[in-house]
């Protein structure tokens, strides 16, 4: 039986409110009201409209006297004043109040009951309600009946545009967050991922003052309760490597590390599905069934088979499904302190070792750097990669200065004696066009060796440019590729390429150097 919810505090007056509906009910509404389709696996397929990804240039944070000194202002967090936020908020509320029916989903963010928050989503599309039903932690019937006042409210009026003539608005899309009110307002974009990332942005704000590190990472747990964290930007293998049949998955994207251990922030996964295949990622492939939201995929209108290789709508095709759809998942999504912290990088220059053991200072340096290379299109002969540095592997969602999160990571690594590793899933023996990409089988051997604790006493070799301790022996991996200088046809060419990359590292690190401290600066490349 539907549970009545009083939306007067949110100024919502629509008589038709569908609260925490079942996936079946949301399917019905999406099919009849939103031109969705059901594919052969039972998942629902739907489009997000003109916007098929996040709109980072249109993300705004309210500049408020209570919080402005602690916000990392710049290209990630664009300031707006509270008046403009309230104008957009009222615009969203007015639009929602014109609908004959709206959807509410009340759920939680954070599996640790000490640190979880109550989140209310108010939206006009059944698709958005189902998405957040999957992505938030779903309350029990008793928890829903006693939900009380939400601590965070999302007003999703994405079908309705922002007024671009409003002062401080730059387009007809606006995604606004008020840290004081703990509210998010969405206008002019129907991309569902904005809601998920809004919640994570808020957790990035709320957790650090409590001594909890908020992390954009995957996490899994072994049979002996050992926990590993996997940090990495797109294309580094974070999702693939953390989905290990021999280990239980905590989550693929957003976590917190408290004094009690690691906890997932979310109740589901939001996986990229471009190129998805059963033989490559069986866990994700099998999770796409009834209840899963497929976003912007192409499918055959007759057979209802999905063409996961098609990018006709977007490269950013997505699947949103509950955690329990992954068979080997830790539920509830809580675990102890990590034994291993793994930074994944796709180094297209071919100079970084496949695996390096890091000191706490080096870990902080690499975490603040968040280095990888975007190599999309390599298969079509693109030889010039785009280097990417994303502090804390999470630049788009950070609210505080990156050093705040990096210090917390360093402290927790020291306190809990976790070992940090840098794993290169990119090139060896030369950059793109000269060398070859490190094969997935070798990388899996490296990760398996980390988990087996078989790398503690093996020889290492310190390189002369980055100061990294390259592990020289890994079962199942050729010794030749483990020391990059040896893998190149000419060692002098490796050194030239390494010095070129180190210069980019040092240039990128300049904004963090003063606050990070001299010991961390010295943990980076020397020349």
Residue 462 CB neighbours (<10 A):
10
CA 173 to chain centre: 22
**Cα gap 34→28, rounded to integer Å:** 10
Residue 255 CB neighbours (<10 A):
27
Residue 154 is inside which H or E element, if any? strand 152-157
Q: Active-site residue among 238, 337, 400, 437?
A: 238
CB 525 within 8 A of CB 467: yes
Q: Is 76 a catalytic residue?
A: no
Q: Is 125 a catalytic residue?
A: no
Residue 518 is inside which H or E element, if any? helix 518-522
Please give the DSSP secondary-structure letter assigned to residue 333: -
Q: Is 54 a catalytic residue?
A: yes
Peptide bond into 332 cis (omega under 30): yes
Q: Active-site residue among 125, 318, 437, 485?
A: 318
Q: Is 443 a catalytic residue?
A: no
Question: Rounded to the nearest 10 degrees, what angle do helices 402-416 and 491-516 cross at?
Answer: 100
Q: Active-site residue among 54, 118, 407, 412?
A: 54
**Residue of 349, 357, 389, 392 whose CA lies nearest to 72:** 392
Q: Active-site residue among 60, 197, 337, 357?
A: 197
E-state strands within 348-417: 355-358, 371-374, 386-389
Q: Is 133 a catalytic residue?
A: no
**Cα gap 158→127, rounded to integer Å:** 12
Q: Is 197 a catalytic residue?
A: yes
Q: Active-site residue among 216, 247, 412, 437?
A: 216
CA dihedral 56→60→65→70, nearest 10 degrees, is: -10
Distances (CA, A) of 182 to 84, 153, 196, 248, 279: 16, 7, 14, 33, 42
Q: Is 116 a catalytic residue?
A: no
DSSP reduced 3-state for 210: helix
Q: Tell me the torsion sign for CA atoms 363, 76, 273, 156.
A: positive
- Decide: residue 378, CB within 10 A, 0-12 exposed, 13-18 middle, 19+ buried: middle
Question: Rounded to the nearest 10 degrees, what angle do helices 126-135 and 23-33 cross at?
Answer: 150
Q: Active-site residue among 253, 255, 345, 347?
A: 253
**Cα gap 320→427, rounded to integer Å:** 31
**Cα gap 188→90, rounded to integer Å:** 14
- The angle subtended at Cα 149 by Cα 112 and Cα 7, nearest 5°, is 135
CA 349 to chain centre: 25
Q: Active-site residue among 234, 310, 359, 460?
A: 234
Q: Active-site residue among 214, 239, 314, 390?
A: 239
Q: Is 204 a catalytic residue?
A: no
Positions annotated as catalytic residues are 54, 197, 216, 234, 238-239, 253, 318
């Amino acid at each position: 039986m539907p549970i009545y919810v009083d939306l007067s505090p949110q100024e919502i007056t629509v008589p038709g409110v569908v609260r925490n509906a079942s996936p079946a009910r949301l399917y019905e509404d999406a099919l009849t009201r939103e031109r969705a389709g059901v594919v052969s696996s039972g998942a629902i397929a739907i489009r997000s409209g003109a916007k098929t990804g996040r709109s980072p240039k249109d993300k705004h944070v309210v500049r408020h006297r209570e919080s402005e000194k602690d916000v990392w202002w710049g290209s990630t967090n664009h300031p707006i004043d509270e008046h403009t936020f309230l104008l957009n908020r009222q615009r969203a509320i007015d639009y929602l109040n014109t609908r004959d029916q709206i959807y509410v989903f009340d759920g939680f963010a954070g599996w640790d009951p000490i640190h979880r928050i109550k989140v209310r989503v108010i939206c006009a599309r059944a698709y958005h309600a189902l998405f957040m039903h999957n992505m938030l932690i779903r309350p029990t019937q008793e928890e829903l009946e006693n939900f009380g006042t939400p601590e965070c409210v999302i007003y999703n009026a994405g079908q309705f545009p922002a007024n671009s003539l409003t002062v401080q608005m730059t387009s007809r899309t606006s995604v606004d967050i008020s840290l004081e009110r703990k509210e998010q307002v969405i206008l002019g974009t129907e991309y569902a991922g904005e809601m998920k990332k809004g919640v994570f942005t808020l957790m990035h704000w709320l957790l650090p003052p409590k001594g909890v590190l908020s992390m954009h990472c995957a996490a899994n747990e072994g049979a002996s309760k050992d926990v590993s964290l996997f940090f990495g930007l797109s294309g580094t293998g974070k999702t693939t490597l953390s989905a290990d049949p021999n280990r239980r998955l905590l989550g693929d994207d957003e976590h917190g590390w408290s004094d009690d251990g690691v906890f997932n922030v979310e109740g589901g996964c939001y996986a990229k599905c471009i190129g998805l295949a059963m033989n490559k990622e069986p866990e994700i492939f099998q999770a796409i069934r009834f209840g899963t939201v497929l976003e912007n995929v192409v499918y055959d209108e007759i057979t209802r088979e999905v063409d996961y290789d098609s990018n006709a709508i977007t490269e950013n095709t997505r699947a949103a499904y509950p955690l329990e759809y992954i068979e080997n998942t830790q539920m509830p999504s809580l675990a102890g302190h990590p034994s291993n912290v793994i930074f994944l990088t796709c180094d297209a220059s071919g100079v970084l070792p496949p695996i390096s053991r890091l000191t706490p200072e080096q870990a902080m340096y690499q975490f603040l750097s968040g280095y990888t290379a975007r190599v999309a299109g390599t298969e079509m002969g693109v030889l010039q990669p785009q280097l990417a540095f994303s502090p804390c592997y999470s630049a788009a969602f950070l609210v505080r200065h990156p050093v705040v999160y990096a210090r917390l990571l360093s402290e927790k690594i020291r306190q809990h004696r976790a070992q940090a590793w840098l794993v290169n899933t990119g090139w060896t023996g030369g950059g793109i066009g000269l060398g070859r990409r490190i094969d997935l089988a070798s990388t899996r051997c490296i990760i398996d060796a980390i988990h087996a604790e078989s790398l503690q006493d093996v020889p290492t070799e310190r390189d002369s440019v980055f100061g990294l301790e390259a592990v020289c022996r890994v079962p199942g991996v050729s010794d030749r590729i483990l020391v990059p200088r040896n893998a190149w046809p000419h060692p002098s060419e490796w050194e030239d390429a390494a010095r070129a990359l180190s210069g980019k590292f040092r240039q990128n690190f300049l904004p963090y150097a003063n606050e990070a401290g001299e010991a961390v600066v010295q943990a980076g490349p020397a020349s």
